[in-house]
Amino acid sequence: MRAYLIKWYWPEEGGIQISEHFKAGEFFCNSPLKPPEPTPIAVELIERLELLRTEAGNVAIKVNSGYRNSPHNKAEKGANNSKHMIGCGADIVVAGMRTEKMAELAYKVGFRRIGKAKTFIHVDITEDEAYWCYLKTGTKTMSFTEMINKVIV
Ligand SMILES: [Zn+2]
């Protein structure tokens, strides 16, 4: 099991710039029920997102969901071992880009766990390699190429 360098941010530290283009608060749990707990954010996740931003031509990346605490993850019906709960995963949108292209660029900058939805992609930095699509019938794991080519309605 790899170790991940995690930094922790308290709620009042949301304005802290954690990299050139991201603030800590963008990764805070957006559950309305969140307790005043610190948020874990993996340094490597942010580094890769910066690479992705550059690769996309310096287009802003919107973080739909970063850290999720356990109750929030349950409410969202997230996986029991969701990487959002350890600060290693994010659901993101690159403005004006199709999710196929987002997934391709994510791969290019080194992400090896990528989920593609109709309007966003999930990326995380944990060690195994997996690609999947979020379909109406549920999450379906497939090869990278199948994931890229799968049309999501
Ligand atoms: Zn996700």
Q: How many Å lie between the centroid of ligand 1 and the Cα of residue 65?
A: 7
**Percentage of the chain modeled with pLDDT above 70:** 97
Q: How many Å lie between the centroid of ligand 1 and the Cα of residue 138?
A: 13
The per-residue pLDDT for 1 is 64
Q: How many Å lie between the centroid of ligand 1 and the Cα of residue 83?
A: 7
User: Taking Cα atoms as reference points, which of 72, 63, 83, 70 lies closest to residue 19?
Assistant: 63
Burial group, residue 34, by CB count within 10 angstroms (0-12, 13-18, 19+): middle
For residue range 80-115, list pLDDT tens digits in order. Answer: 889 999 999 999 999 999 999 999 999 999 999 999
Q: Where are the alpha helices (H) located in the chain, listed in sequence order?
A: 43-55, 70-75, 99-108, 144-149
Greater confidence, 71 or 148? 148
Block residue for tokens 């999947």: 132
Q: Per-residue pLDDT for 33 more than 80? A: no
For residue 132, list its beta bridge partners: 115, 141
3-state class (DSSP) for residue 98: coil
What are the DSSP E strand ranges found in the chain?
6-9, 39-42, 61-65, 89-94, 113-116, 121-124, 130-135, 138-142
Q: Tell me, which fold does domain 9-149 have in CATH? A: Muramoyl-pentapeptide Carboxypeptidase; domain 2 (3.30.1380)
